[in-house]
Amino acid sequence: MKPFTYNALPARVVFGWGTSAQVKDELQRLGCSRALVLTTPQQSEAGEKIKAILGDLAVGIYSNATMHTPINVTQEALARAKELNVDCCVSVGGGSTIGLGKALALHSADGDAKIKNIVIPTTYAGSEATPIIGQTENDKDGKPLKTTQKTLKVLPEVILYDIDLTLSLPPKMTVTSGLNAIAHAVEALWAVEANPITSSLAVQGIEAIGRSIPLISKDPSSRDGRSDALFGAWACGTCLGAVGMALHHKLCHTLGGSFGMPHAETHTVILPHAVAYNAPFAEVAVATVARALGVDNAAQGLFDLAKDNGAPYSLKELGFKEEDLERAADIAAKAPYPNPAPLEKAKILQLLTNAFHGTRPE
């Protein structure tokens, strides 16, 4: 066994069917009494249900969580939280809502009292299990730029995984959300900080989501499929929180923050090509991914998992402009970061070009 370092993350996880009904007990367990429920506009109804469960412990609902966590939205929500004297937020939804809850925790930590965070995920993004936050604001030229940071300040105190709340997630969104989660585990396997604990979780996460996607595509109400997918989301998200990420996540943050591309769909499209890019320099990790998926070629297996289950597999179909490929490659190649394969702009541009056209990796 090689030497390794592993930092366990302090978070309480409650997993099962109908667990969102326990939100009031969890809030009181934290010693909180003034909760602000967070959602996107599309999930305000789900937020109202949680607000009803909380009863007089809920002081309001903010339903403007936005993809890529724009700073202006955070500032608006933070002002609302201060106005209501909030001591805890309950984030109900996917990555956009969870990101907003993390942002409130981060920015309130610089003030009088940190706003605690209970998260009730309704997708498989896995962000709830990480101490990582991505935020978007305009750069000096007025163009949107997404930056990330890692701090325990944003790690939720409690995660309530309620499988019932994922049953309504459409199959297509299930696939993209699931592959987004798998991306965390894949990069954890070749991370500089890789260790036996996160690698074991990574394999479990890839296996669980890999077998769940076809089940859910065939039957969206599949109990086995939904429970496996949500467990896989936690496992993969925990990997993301414990180790550093590489080229795949850098590209997705570039495409999302600077070009407004949808988060999960972009991860779905880029992942097979990022795996192919790194394969010659991360043979053991890539072979592990292939075994977990039950395929011979990891990059092709990930591509087929998306395409065969109705998910997007090209940047072109997501609305990305071909003339922006050069600038995206330039941004991704600028700042140095750990990655198994050398970071070369020409090769990154070829990766993005293949992803743009939806070319199956070789």
Indicate the number of domains in the chain.
2
Amino acid at 328: A
Q: Among 165, 186, 221, give the residue marking a domain's end.
A: 165
- pLDDT at residue 195, rounded to an integer: 94
- pLDDT at residue 320, rounded to an integer: 97
Instruction: State the residue for tokens 């049953």.
Output: 167
* CATH for 320: 1.20.1090.10
Strands (E), the chain: 12-16, 35-38, 58-62, 88-93, 116-121, 132-138, 144-150, 158-162
pTM metric for this prediction: 0.90
State which residues form the domain around 65: 12-165
Q: Among 111, 139, 165, give the residue marking a domain's end.
A: 165
Is 6 within a domain? no
Which phi and psi angles does 59 have, rounded to 5°?
-105, -5
- In sequence order, what are the residues at sequence separation of 6 or more whose Cβ sits closer than 8 angstroms to the Cβ of residue 253? 134, 146, 148
Is 106 within a domain? yes
CB 188 within 8 Å of CB 239: yes
Is 206 within a domain? yes
Is 331 within a domain? yes
- pLDDT at residue 41, rounded to an integer: 96
In the chain, which stretches have pLDDT less than 70?
A: 110-112, 140
Is 57 within a domain? yes
Instruction: Check the CA dihedral 348-352-354-359 and report its sign.
Output: positive
- Do 95 and 34 lie in one domain? The reply is yes
SS3 state at 335: coil
- How confident is the model over 17-59, as pLDDT tens digits? 999 999 999 999 999 999 999 999 999 999 999 999 999 999 9
- pLDDT at residue 6, rounded to an integer: 84
- pLDDT at residue 157, rounded to an integer: 96
Is 323 within a domain? yes
